[in-house]
């Protein structure tokens, strides 16, 4: 098959706000504004950004837990966003999700074994023997003891629960897994274990990840390519090494500078970013970042910057940096 595994084109999601019966032109939250990216087989694409920038909305749209306002989500060339629910069910096997909260994403009334084998049982009948064998296999894959299959989620730790969530996502042997803040609810030491597990699983099965996080340290560890989001738009997208070594968009610069470095002797470059994130209900004109940008020019206030390809392969949406570079 040619072309990328997952291709997202001009994805848009607006949430209507208090759309009343008599209010003809209701306010909308512009959660995602024309986002495009692609994911190759076996690759990890990270999406970073601060809270409320639309990361989780993208995850939900990829999984079709909500319908996009516009744009296409092409999985192996098929538009997920236009499928009806019967067609969609079969495509669900190809794309699975790991949820943020390992507590509320597992049904408290089901045993670990029931939880992780349920997706498979949605598509084929399993006898008791085969179900238990499958559960044991999946548990071993994510580094849990098979004996755990008869326990309830309430009897497991946060890390164990998140491993169950990963096992559930793996059960259908998907070609892509969307992980929405999959480690943010865990302790730092457990985070590292789960991240290593994800890397190992990728090596074994060749699964692609769309890894959504706000934690740059995590992203640097796991990502092949990184997309940086600000107010519903991707502002910079490039390989992990290039982007962390040499951020081009002023927002990426500020984000990386703000991340704590575990080395007190290392001098930190201060990038001044002032103010708060504007509301996605009424985003600023032109470049959404211009009110806080130290480099802002007249043009930034008027014209929305497009993602422009750079010589090193990345794309940046910034009038100042994109033109300076060329």
Partner 1 sequence: MISSANIDAVPTTPLGLSNLPRLARRYPLVLLGGGLLMLLIILALAAPLYAGDPQNMDPFVRLQPPSAEHWFGTDNLGRDVFARTVYGARISMMVGLISALLAACTGLLMGVVAGYVHRFDNVIMRVMDALMSIPTILLAIALISLTGPGIGILIVAVTLPQTPSVTRLVRSVVVSVRERPYVEAAVCGGARLPKVLRRHILPSTIPPLMVQSAIVCADAIMIEAGLSFLGVGVPPEIPSWGNMISSSRVYLASAPLTIFAPGIFLTLTVLAVNLLGDGLRDLFDPRAKRRR
**Residues engaged in binding partner 1 (CB under 8 A):** 63, 65, 89-90, 92-93, 96-97, 99-101, 104-110, 118-119, 122-123, 152, 154, 165, 168, 171-172
CA distance 183 to 82: 31
Q: How far is the CB of 269 from partner 1 (least distance, A)?
A: 39
Beta partners for residue 227, in sequence order? 47, 237
User: For residues 116, 121, 122 and 123, what is the CA-based torsion angle, rounded to 10 degrees?
Assistant: 120
CA 151 to CA 193: how far, in whole Å? Answer: 22
Q: How far is the CB of 125 from partner 1 (least distance, A)?
A: 13
Judged by beta carbon, residue 124 or residue 274, the one nearer partner 1 is 124
Q: How far is the CB of 134 from partner 1 (least distance, A)?
A: 14
For 194, the token pair is 């789960």
CA distance linking residue 319 with residue 127, whole number of Å: 60
For partner 1, which is the closer residue by CB, 120 or 240? 120
Q: Shortest Cβ distance from residue 54 to partner 1 (Å)?
A: 18
Least distance between partner 1 and beta carbon 143 (Å): 20
Q: Are 121 and 131 in contact (CB under 8 A)?
A: yes
Question: Rounded to whole angstroms, how far apart are CA atoms 84 and 32?
Answer: 22
Closer residue to partner 1 in complex, CB, 123/282: 123
> Cα–Cα distance between 26 and 218 in angstroms, integer?
38
Report the residue number, 100 or 252, with the smaller CB distance to partner 1.
100
Strand 70-75 and strand 78-79: the pairing is antiparallel
CB of 33 to partner 1, least distance (A): 24
CB nearer to partner 1: give 154 or 279: 154
Question: Which is nearer to partner 1, 72 or 93 (by Cβ)?
Answer: 93
Note whether 305 and 287 are within 8 A (CB): yes
Torsion of the alpha carbons at 244, 245, 248 and 249, rounded to the nearest 10: 30
Burial class (CB in 10 A: 0-12, 13-18, 19+), 298: exposed
Rank residues 99 and 251 by Cβ distance to partner 1 and give the closer one: 99
User: Measured from the CB atom, is 23 or 107 closer to partner 1?
Assistant: 107
Can you read off the two tokens belonging to residue 48? 């970073």
- Phi/psi of residue 250, nearest 5 degrees: -60, -30
**CB of 98 or CB of 226, closer to partner 1:** 98
Tell me the residue length of the chain.
Answer: 326
CB of 146 to partner 1, least distance (A): 21
Q: How far is the CB of 120 from partner 1 (least distance, A)?
A: 9
DSSP state of 325: H
Q: Least distance to partner 1 from the beta carbon of 23, Å?
A: 18
Q: In what order do the strands lie in the sheet with 315-316?
A: 95-98, 176-180, 208-213, 44-48, 225-230, 233-239, 315-316, 308-309
Contact 306, 56 (CB under 8 A): no
- Tokens 């169950």, located at residue: 164
């Amino acid at each position: 098959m040619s072309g990328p595994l997952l291709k997202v084109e001009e994805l848009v999601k607006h949430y209507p706000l208090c759309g009343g019966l008599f209010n003809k032109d209701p306010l909308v939250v512009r959660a995602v504004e024309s986002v495009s990216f692609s994911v190759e087989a076996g690759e990890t694409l990270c999406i970073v950004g601060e809270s409320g920038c639309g990361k989780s909305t993208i995850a939900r749209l990829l999984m079709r837990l909500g319908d996009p306002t516009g744009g296409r989500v092409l999985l192996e060339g098929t538009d997920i966003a236009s499928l009806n629910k019967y067609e969609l069910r079969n495509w669900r096997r190809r794309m699975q999700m790991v949820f943020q909260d390992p507590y509320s994403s597992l049904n408290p009334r089901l045993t670990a074994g029931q939880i992780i084998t349920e997706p498979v049982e949605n598509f084929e009948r399993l006898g008791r023997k085969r179900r238990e064998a499958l559960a044991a296999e999946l548990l071993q894959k994510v580094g849990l003891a098979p004996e755990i299959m008869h326990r309830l989620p309430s009897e497991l730790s946060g890390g164990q629960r998140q491993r169950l969530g990963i096992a559930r996502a793996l059960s259908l042997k998907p070609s892509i897994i969307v992980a929405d803040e999959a480690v943010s609810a865990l302790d730092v030491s457990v985070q590292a274990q789960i991240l290593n597990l994800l890397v190992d699983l990728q090596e074994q099965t060749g699964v692609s990840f769309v890894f959504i996080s706000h934690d740059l340290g995590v992203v640097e560890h796991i990502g092949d390519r990184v997309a940086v989001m600000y107010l519903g738009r991707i502002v910079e997208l490039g390989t992990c090494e290039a982007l962390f070594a040499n951020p081009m968009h002023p927002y990426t610069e500020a984000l990386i500078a703000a991340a704590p470095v575990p080395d007190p002797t290392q001098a930190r470059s201060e990038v001044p970013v002032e103010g708060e994130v504007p509301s996605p209900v009424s985003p600023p004109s032109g470049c959404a970042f211009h009110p806080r940008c130290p480099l802002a020019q007249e043009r930034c206030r008027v014209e929305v910057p497009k993602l422009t390809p750079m010589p090193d392969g990345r794309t940046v949406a910034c009038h100042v940096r994109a033109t300076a570079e060329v």
